[in-house]
Structure 1
Amino acid sequence: MLAGLGVILAALAGLWMVQGLGPGNRAFLLELRAAKLAALVIVATAIGTATILFQTVAANRVLTPSIMGFDALYVLLQTALVASIGGSGLAALPAAPRFAAEIALMTALAAVLFGTLLLRGARDVPRMILTGVILGVMFRSVSGFLGRVMDPNEYAVVQAVSFASFNRVETALLPHAGLATAVALVLAWRLSRRLDVLALGRDPALSLGLPHARVLIAALALVAVLVSVSTALVGPVAFFGLIVSGLAHGLMRDARHAVLLPASALLAAILLVGGQWLFERQLGQAATLSVVVEFAGGLFFLYLLVKGRIR
């Protein structure tokens, strides 16, 4: 199954690169398409992997990092940065150091806030979910307050990073985002067996000798890095990871993270590359992929809730 998904992704990538190439400057077009393809694959891999990791930590397949406020935390950081140094100051910052600082700060804050939350609420999942949602609302409220008191022109800069757009990609960040995502994937792969034990629950994991607290914090740190990478490239995406994780569990029918992690990454890349190819090359940008993804993800979220209640 994994090999088949890889073949589908390779075929879509080839179609994305070569379809519609005219007799003009092909090298220029191929360079632009390669950069956008790399961004789509990086974002898809980051979102798919982060969702699987977070659902394992939270012991709930209905949750995504966005629901618990990870994206809201990133938008708050961006809003505070624009409010303090302005949009022109933000644009003047070197891309690589800013990107590294954002990931480091995001990871540290997420580990402190959500790590403490999950460790204290490991036996009370409803309280953990409620607290995470409240924190997300608080982050969004603070971002909204800062947006109201800043200059409208500066607020337009904040708006640009508050909504997902797969057509707006910071190509200068691609090498750094790719490196950060690759490192996170390697670390997640090395944790895969421990994550299998973690998914059994706190008490069984402790009885099997798993350092439960350390694995929780490590998984949360990886989630924070991956979410910050995807958000920095295209903006916050709420429900896409939910679709990918649901497809990965349904298609693979295997609870091992050594299977789920690559499956979710491949499925996410197939959906993003295929969806962007459809909307951009076939429909002439008649619709926006991010809007369709969020709508479908919201419906899938409601389906999971109803299915859970029926059971």
Structure 2
Amino acid sequence: MTGTVRPDRDGRTAGGARPRRIAGRPGAGDTGDHPAGRSGTGVALVLAGLGVAVVAAFALAVTLGSVTIPLGDTVGSLLGAGDTRLDVLIRDVRVPRAVTAALVGAGLGAAGLLTQTLFRNPLAEPYVLGVSAGAGLGVALYVTAGTGAVAVFATGGLGAAQSGVSRLGSVGAAALGAAVLLALVLLLSRWTRSTVTLLVVGVMVGSVVTSVVSLLLVWTDPRTAQQYLVWGLGSVDGVANTDLPVLGGIVAAGLLGVALLAKPLDALLLGDDYAATMGVDVARVRGVVLVVAAVLAGTVTAFCGPVGFLGIAVPHLARLAVGTSRHRVLVPATVLTGALVGLACAIVGHPPGTGTVLPLNVVTSLVGAPVVIVVLLRSRRFAAGSVG
């Protein structure tokens, strides 16, 4: 086309010059690294440090709670040589809770990274796709049918074990609702060529579904509505040992999918047109990204309720930690950072010696959000408006 200069595969235009860099977005061949940069050794040290921190946070999450357990007894119980009186508490309550918290943080963090890259928007999160609203609608329909199953989310692992059928039904309803909304968004995406339009469509669909849920709650019994509201606060306490293989398996598969998408995600950072010149099938990659992000977010929502904050904050914290937007580095950093933040929220949500359990969304918003704001404001990179 006359007057149009497209870059070739090595990032140069037909005249041999590199395309002009757009403010706030990496230029061709630019990885979006932090101005200070990190060497390969520096990145490896950061990832190793995050891994050690995750292990330490996991140990604290198992040790601390309404009853503080000595670390030696915790390790002994996990190895089968501990105090049998503590085995039930550690193996059936503390360990599932800690594993769930790590999976929730890693899954939502990775899903948030996908959506922020796809929409090239630092405020994007996995729930903009409408899967959370769809899961909420499924649970609302299930609860208003008279089962009262959502109460198991507020009773912890013991309650879930005693009400296995009800819990299975509520999880299934949430998963089905999320899948239906995902299918609708994917169908609508076939008629949208712009990621911005798709973002708006997802938000609008979610708003409509949320309004339908509100109408259902208005017309239902107040006690049932209260159960739904408790579920909406989020919790990592209701996942039993029998649930972990399903939750862990789906999240692990989703994280593998995110890792495999690292190369096309780097291309998408430069825009759809440039990604196409790099040989990326933009429409196909967009569909895969939507599916993987929705599966991760929908699975977490089905088991733990709609957990906010993590999907939007964790990718930013990971970028600050490794100082790059290259996804082959950013993906493992996001997974580790998400697991660490999820475990930290689980620890704060169970203050030692109080017997009090704080809703997960209360912890993420009241405690986590101010910390992230301070970290971002102190970062010169984010203060300058660069998030790529």
For the superposition of Structure 1 and Structure 2, which TM-score range results when normalised by the shorter chain? 0.7 to 0.9
> Does residue 54 of the first structure (1) align with residue 126 of the second (2)?
no
> Does residue 206 of the first structure (1) align with residue 280 of the second (2)?
no
Aligned equivalent of 2:61:
16
Whose radius of gyration is greater, 1 or 2?
2
> Does residue 280 of the first structure (1) align with residue 350 of the second (2)?
yes
Q: Does the Cα contact within 8 Å between 2:119 and 2:195 map onto a contact in 1? A: no
Out of 179, 187, 191, the position equivalent to 2:261 is 191
Pairing of 1:48-87 with structure 2 (within 5 A): 48-84=109-145, 86-87=147-148
> Does residue 110 of the first structure (1) align with residue 170 of the second (2)?
no
Local SS of the residue matching 2:127:
coil
Q: Does the Cα contact within 8 Å between 1:99 and 1:173 map onto a contact in 2? A: no
Aligned equivalent of 1:258:
328
Q: Does the Cα contact within 8 Å between 2:264 and 2:280 map onto a contact in 1? A: yes
Distance, in Å, in 2 between the alignment partners of 1:81 and 1:306 is: 45
Q: CA deviation at 1:197?
A: 1.8
Q: CA deviation at 1:68?
A: 4.6
Local SS of the residue matching 2:148:
helix
Aligned equivalent of 2:312:
242
Out of 123, 141, 164, the position equivalent to 2:194 is 123
Aligned-partner residue type, residue 4 of structure 1: G
Q: What TM-score, normalized to structure 2?
A: 0.69
Bigger relative contact order, structure 1 or 2, given CA contacts below 8 A and separation 6+? Answer: 1
Q: Does the Cα contact within 8 Å between 2:348 and 2:363 map onto a contact in 1? A: no
The 10-residue stretch of structure 1 (79-88 or 37-46) with the greater mean CA deviation from structure 2: 79-88
Identity of aligned residues (%): 27
Structure that is richer in helix per residue: 1
Local SS of the residue matching 2:126:
coil
Q: CA deviation at 1:132?
A: 2.8
Deviations 1:35-79 (A, max 9, x none): 111111111111111100111121212111224533122101211
Pairing of 1:169-180 with structure 2 (within 5 A): 169-180=239-250
Q: Does the Cα contact within 8 Å between 1:66 and 1:237 map onto a contact in 2? A: no
- Matched pairs, number: 307
Q: CA deviation at 1:141?
A: 0.5
Distance, in Å, in 2 between the alignment partners of 1:172 and 1:136 is: 31
Aligned-partner residue type, residue 61 of structure 2: W
Is there any run of 5+ residues in structure 2 with no aligned partner, and where?
1-45, 71-82, 152-162
Q: Does the Cα contact within 8 Å between 2:130 and 2:203 map onto a contact in 1? A: yes
Out of 88, 92, 96, the position equivalent to 1:35 is 96
Q: CA deviation at 1:81?
A: 2.5
Local SS of the residue matching 1:25:
helix
The 10-residue stretch of structure 1 (229-238 or 293-302) with the greater mean CA deviation from structure 2: 293-302
Aligned equivalent of 2:363:
292
